[in-house]
Chain A
Amino acid sequence: MNQAKIDRSAMLDAKIEAILAGEEELIPSSGFLASVMERVQEEAVAPPPIPFPWKQAIPGILATTGVFAWGAVKLFRQGLPALNSPMLPLPHLPAALVVPVEQTGWVALALGVTLLSWLFSRRLAGRGGLL
């Protein structure tokens, strides 16, 4: 019974093999070679793609990574219970004074980042100087 099953499988395999091995060969169309060479010639005369300016981008990438890392550390620290490390008591300042100073700091930082990115983009475009 089992032998018959094996024989049958072998015969089926042979038939499938004969079908798949006996595939007719396709002949490429007459214009295929010319069409490939036309595209190759086009690529050969095309100017090379502009490489990504890694040298100029690396400082920016590092700075951005640093800012994000700093932000992550700050968030993590705020999440930690204050009991783990004895903290010095903050000096008591009136809220009316603390809030405007904090906001001014953020505005100054935003202006600084804007200025840096503007200078960086001018440098990339090949125009040095401030104007």
Chain B
Amino acid sequence: MNTFHPSAAQELDQADVARVLAGDVAAFEGIVRRWQAPLVNMAWRYSRDRGRAEEMAQEAFLRAWRGLAQWRRESSFSTWLFALAANVYRSELKRFPTQTLPLDAAPEPSGPASQHSELAEKLSGEAVRRAVLALPMRYREPVVLFYFHEMDVAAAAATMGLPEGTLKARLSRARALLRQRFPHLEEEHVNLKFSSQVEGKEAVR
């Protein structure tokens, strides 16, 4: 989960932007310090490559630096920054796509391993996240941004510059594609829970 609070940072952002625009380059450090974690995390969700996520986030900050005067203050600074970052990440991934398998080829989690339920759950989680990367970009991005924004449809739609209804429709389609890819996920989850409970009881005995 992300721990940033855009509303709390709003005044600090405005002050720092004003200082930067007045020629104080060092004031940009405050902006980077506040937003580095969200931007790196957002890039990570787009690419699932740590090194690349930092490179992409750095590029987003540089673009923000160059275009700071273009922030109109109609929306919050964070909304502007996230939209700019999403554009940067999208075009970076178009130029150099991530190595992803097609959705059909994304590995499906194997059957529950009662001995290693925690590991199996981690693997199934990773498989689902990898499958998100294998979605077509028009469905992948809404999923990435919806969960990045802690399931806030309005924030995700603002970042993408889409109407909320369009975003919801794409999310729904993305979920349907993921359901098709992982039809046994729920059974496995239930089995994993059951096996964990059994293991727990055995441990108590």
A16, B54: Cβ atoms closer than 8 Å? no
Q: How far is the CA of A8 from the CA of B182 in the complex (A)?
A: 12
Q: Which of A35-65 contact B (CB under 8 A)?
A: 35-37, 39-41, 43-44
Given A25-B37, A28-B40, A32-B40, A43–B182 Cβ distance below 8 Å?
no
B179, A12: Cβ atoms closer than 8 Å? yes
The listed residue (B129, B132, B186) touching A12 by CB distance below 8 A is B186
A12, B185: Cβ atoms closer than 8 Å? yes
A15: interface (CB < 8 Å)? yes
A102: interface (CB < 8 Å)? no
Q: Interface residues of B toward A: which range?
A: 35 or more
B29: interface (CB < 8 Å)? yes
Q: Which of A1-45 contact B (CB under 8 A)?
A: 8-9, 11-13, 15-17, 19-23, 25-29, 32-33, 35-37, 39-41, 43-44
The listed residue (B1, B29, B178, B189) touching A25 by CB distance below 8 A is B1
Q: How far is the CA of A36 from the CA of B28 in the complex (A)?
A: 10
How many A-B pairs have beta carbons closer than 8 Å: the answer is 88
A-side contacts of B175, CB under 8 Å: 13, 16
A40, B179: Cβ atoms closer than 8 Å? no
Q: Which A residue sits closest to B175, measured CB to CB?
A: A13
A8, B186: Cβ atoms closer than 8 Å? yes
Q: Which B residue sits closest to A45, measured CB to CB?
A: B25
Binding site for A on B (CB under 8 A): 1-3, 25-26, 28-29, 32-33, 36-37, 40-41, 44-45, 50, 53-54, 57-58, 61-62, 65-66, 124-125, 128-129, 132, 143, 147, 150-151, 175, 178-179, 182-183, 185-186, 189
